[in-house]
Amino acid sequence: MPLTEDRAKPAVPFGGHYRLIDFALSNLINSGVTQVVVLTQYKSHSLDRHVSQTWHVSGGLFNSYIASVPAQQRLGKRWFSGSADAILQSLNLIHDEKPDVVVVVGADHVYRMDFSQMIDAHLASGAEATVAAIRQPIGLADQFGVIGVSADAPDRITTFTEKPKDAVGLTDAPHEVFASMGNYVFNTDALIDAVLRDGDRPDSSHDMGGDIIPDFVSRGTAGVYDLKNNDVPGSTDRDRYYWRDVGTIESFFEAHQDLISTLPIFNLYNRDWPIFSQQLNSPPAKFVRDAAGAIGTTIDSIVSLGSVISGAHLERSVLGPWATVESGAEVVDSILFERVHVQPGAVVRRAILDKDVVVAAGASVGVSRDRDLARGFSVTDTGITVVGKGVHVQP
């Protein structure tokens, strides 16, 4: 919040003109996984619209599609009570296609991954369920679901613990742990059986990571797939194993900072494994002097189509489509969504402005924490100010 006040998290804009869901869908399509359903529930209109307008995958002879499927209340008049319950209530989709394996991925992470390699590893392992894992410093273990493996069977999961305080490092790297990426491959029959049994448990939270995977672990049929074994075409040593769960304002902000350095930590310019999204019918971005001839500066920033920077200073920032920053304004360490307008002399620092926000001439955001809080803006503990959709910030 407030970025999810009006939209589901996978529909939140990211990196200029992308939406978060574009990363998951691009990975699947690039991997050759072309029968995809997006299970939606919370304030899903913008997400459904984005999927329908952007992700046209022709069916034809190849039976390929990407389709939004809202909660259908097939098991009674109730909504999804968790990610596992979402699958339980959507089993008709699996029964219709009769696949050998089902890939289940989160739609709000930023990363690249070739799922075909994970599927091959899953089939070769003999496991019923395989969890994608990324190596993380052991000091960060309390931020993730941590996967434990044994030295004798390093590809089989022995424990699965949510945010442990006493994690044990990996045998081959004691300073690291396996963190779950929230991506799974299942044998179809095993997944159906697991969600049906989970649906009968009154004490379950009906969550994939919290309930379904531990069930497979307890029966010794869960495997782990190490992301370091995944070779994505076009990856560099700097961004090969990049993965961000952008579930907080801080992680969302930091992931944007990862994009804008000269040698980006996450490279949007990999033409061998593109991230697809909707390309708006817009003119190129433009950088001009202001009416008085003053020259602006733009440093270490991403600027989307349709944007105009006129005699202003832009630094370490990401601008969405049709953003405008006018004469003498300053935008530093900030993220501006679609159609944000920063008027002359305004200052925006360390802030996220949702679409259609107007910062009036001479106004400021992110300069005074107390002032931002008094105006009803969200301010994180680390000092990131977030202004909700359509707000007019007055001097």
Per-residue pLDDT of the chain (395 residues; tens, 9 = 90+): 888 898 989 999 999 999 999 999 999 999 999 999 999 888 888 888 888 888 887 666 567 888 888 877 666 677 787 889 999 999 999 999 999 999 999 998 999 999 999 999 999 999 999 999 999 999 989 888 899 998 788 889 999 988 888 888 888 889 999 999 999 999 999 999 999 999 988 888 898 888 999 999 999 999 999 999 999 999 988 888 999 989 899 999 999 999 998 888 898 999 999 999 987 789 999 999 988 888 889 999 999 999 999 999 999 999 999 999 999 999 999 999 999 999 999 999 999 999 999 999 999 999 999 999 999 999 999 999 999 999 999 99
290 and 158, same domain (yes or no)? no
Name every residue whose Cβ is closer than 8 Å to that of residue 281 and which is 6 or more positions away in sequence: none
241 and 306, same domain (yes or no)? no
- 2 within some domain: no
Supply the mean pLDDT for the chain. Answer: 91
Mind giving me the DSSP string for 355-374? TT-EE-TT-EESS-HHHHHH
Name every residue whose Cβ is closer than 8 Å to that of residue 175 and which is 6 or more positions away in sequence: 137, 138, 169
> Phi first, then psi: what are they for 333, rounded to 5°?
50, 50
Burial 298-325 (b: 16+ CB within 10 A, else e): beebbbbbbbbbbbbbbbbbbbbbbbbb
Percent of the chain with pLDDT over 90: 68
- 280 within some domain: no
Per-residue DSSP letter, 285: P
How confident is the model over 291-309, as pLDDT tens digits?
888 888 999 999 999 999 9
Contact 225, 133 (CB under 8 A): yes
* Tally of structural domains, the chain: 2
87 and 198, same domain (yes or no)? yes
- 20 within some domain: yes
Contact 134, 177 (CB under 8 A): no
307 and 222, same domain (yes or no)? no
**Residue 276: what residue type?**
F
Per-residue DSSP letter, 139: G
Q: How far is CA 183 from the centre of its chain?
A: 12
> Hey, which residues does 137 pair with through a beta bridge?
176
84 and 128, same domain (yes or no)? yes
- 249 within some domain: yes
H or E element: which one contains 117? helix 115-125
> Hey, which residues does 66 pair with through a beta bridge?
36
- 278 within some domain: no
- 119 within some domain: yes
Domain end among 239, 257, 275: 257
238 and 324, same domain (yes or no)? no
146 and 248, same domain (yes or no)? yes
Domain end among 238, 257, 276: 257
Helix, strand, or coil (residue 378): strand
Q: What is the CATH number of the domain that holds 314?
A: 2.160.10.10
**Residue 221: what residue type?**
T
Domain end among 215, 236, 257: 257
- 275 within some domain: no
217 and 347, same domain (yes or no)? no
Name every residue whose Cβ is closer than 8 Å to that of residue 125 and which is 6 or more positions away in sequence: 155, 223
How confident is the model over 185-223, as pLDDT tens digits?
999 999 999 999 999 888 888 988 889 999 999 999 999
H or E element: which one contains 24? helix 21-30
Q: What is the CATH number of the domain that holds 197?
A: 3.90.550.10
145 and 194, same domain (yes or no)? yes
- 60 within some domain: yes
290 and 238, same domain (yes or no)? no
> Hey, which residues does 372 pair with through a beta bridge?
none
> Phi first, then psi: what are they for 111, rounded to 5°?
-175, 175
206 and 306, same domain (yes or no)? no
Name every residue whose Cβ is closer than 8 Å to that of residue 121 and which is 6 or more positions away in sequence: 130, 223, 225, 229
Nearest alpha carbon to residue 191 among 116, 127, 128: 128
Domain holding 308, by residue range, is 286-393
18 and 104, same domain (yes or no)? yes
Q: How far is CA 295 from the centre of its chain?
A: 36
